[in-house]
Amino acid sequence: MLLTAGCSFVWGDELKGFDDNPPTHWPFTFTHLLAGKMAMPYINLGSCGAGNDKIFREVTDYLHNPRHETPVTHIVVMWSAFQRAEVVEYMPKEREIKIQRHDDVTQFSPLRTSGIYNRNKRRVMNDWFDNAYDSRTDVMHTLTKMKTLELLCDSMGIKLVQGFFHKRCWSNIMSILRDNGPDEDDTLVAGSMPLYTSWLKNSIIDLKPTSRVGAGKGKDLYTIAIENDDLRPHGHPGEKTQVIFSDFLYKKFIDM
């Protein structure tokens, strides 16, 4: 069975039928197309607004659950923006929120703190993003998740393809490696953090080529959409991009 995970780019936001109730866009997703090419069933764990903690947790939960009768043989994970985070909190059922919630967990980001229901948590997280946030930490955490998923899939005999959904993820990493500007105290520069920089470089180099889609070893979904004039009004790839990406993934799996 094929298992895919990620944010709205994997879920299929803005594809034909995405806003039907219930959604009817599934046949246009790369997940559906890829599963058809490989003649196997699939589960799409993609969720709009999902951060990488959620993505990692739900893939792990699915593989750990002994109640699933069909074994997973192939996995595709498109990791989301590093800046996305989550918080467990109570939220009344009648509160309307666009980003899907699961297990009482609210997904948020610097631009989506309004989705946090608890006023104090919302205020603190706004202050955090404004005064203390450093993407280097989340880059480190996501790359660690990617390495862990490689080990997990290798141990279970699962073929894995993973990478980033958007070119800005790779741009974030490259900007960190190239940054020589002043740090917060004006005496240190980012390039003077040799241990972190060395860890970051080695982590990227040590990933398998099939774990670096959109990270120097294949194009991300957003880039494919831009190149094919297939970007929807809210920035999601269209049907043409899904077909191209499914072909790309199929070749990746066949070549393994």
Q: What is the CA radius of gyration of the chain?
A: 19
CA atoms within a 13 Å half-sphere pointing along the CA-CB vector of 121 = 18
pLDDT of residue 159: 98
Give pLDDT tens digits for 135-167: 999 999 999 999 999 999 999 999 999 999 999
| Type of residue at 130 | D
- The residue-averaged pLDDT of 81-94 equals 94
Backbone angles phi, psi at 193, to 5 degrees: -105, 70
CA distance 241 to 33: 11
User: 169-224: per-residue pLDDT in tens?
Assistant: 999 999 988 874 444 444 445 556 788 999 999 999 999 999 999 999 999 999 99
Are 214 and 71 in contact by the 8 Å Cβ rule? The answer is: no
Q: Which residue(s) pair with 189 in the sheet?
A: 182
Q: Which domains does the chain have, with CATH numbers?
A: 2-83+139-254 (3.40.50.1110), 84-132 (no CATH)
Angle, in degrees to the nearest 10, between helices 167-178 and 135-156: 120
User: Which DSSP letter does residue 223 get?
Assistant: H
> What would the mean pLDDT of 66-92 be, rounded to a whole number?
96
If you average pLDDT over every residue of the chain, what do you get? 93
Q: Specify the pLDDT at position 105.
A: 95
Alpha carbon of 107 to those of 57, 104, 240: distances in Å?
A: 13, 10, 29
Residues 121-125 have a mean pLDDT of 96
Region 79-99: what's the mean pLDDT? 91
More confident call, 193 vs 123: 123
The backbone torsions φ and ψ at residue 120, rounded to the nearest 5 degrees and listed phi first, read -65, -40
Q: 35 Cβ partners below 8 Å, 6+ apart? A: 2, 41, 42
Which amino acid does the sequence have at 73? T
Determine contact, residues 79/7, Cβ cutoff 8 Å.
no
Tell me if the pTM is above 0.85: yes
pLDDT at 129: 96
If you average pLDDT over residues 33-44, what whole number do you get? 98
Encode burial over 84-93: b for 16+ CB neighbours within 10 A, e otherwise: bbbbeeeeee
Structure tokens at 92: 């009344």
What confidence category does residue 98 fall into, taking pLDDT thresholds of 50, 70 and 90?
A: confident
Q: What is the mean pLDDT of residues 69-88?
A: 97
User: What is the structure's pLDDT at 189?
Assistant: 52
